[in-house]
Amino acid sequence: MRLYRFLSDDDTSAFCHKVSLALSKGWELHGGPTYAYDALKGVMRCGQAVVKEVPGTYSPEVKLGEM
């Protein structure tokens, strides 16, 4: 099955580490990153979709962060 996650965080090194950790676990980038201003927090936010092929059948109980 093919899994999908959307990672997001403030525009800090924490976001880069989050994406790097996913890549180190076998996730692959899916499309380009997004970048938007969060007016409530007054910060820029980043987002990146990632996908991963794993064995099994999908169910909503799948813990994507643990894959």
Q: What's the maximum distance between 2 C-alpha atoms anywhere in the chain? A: 42
Is 6:47 a contact under the CB 8 Å cutoff?
A: yes
Contacts 24+ apart (CB under 8 A), 18-25: 19/48, 19/50, 22/50, 23/50, 25/52, 25/67
Q: Which domain holds residue 9?
A: 2-61
Mean pLDDT, 10 residues at a time, the chain of 67 residues: 96 96 97 96 97 92 85
pLDDT at 19: 97
As for how many domains the chain has, the answer is 1
- Alpha-carbon span 48 to 57, nearest angstrom: 24
Specify if 16 maps to a domain.
yes
Specify if 30 maps to a domain.
yes
pLDDT at 47: 98
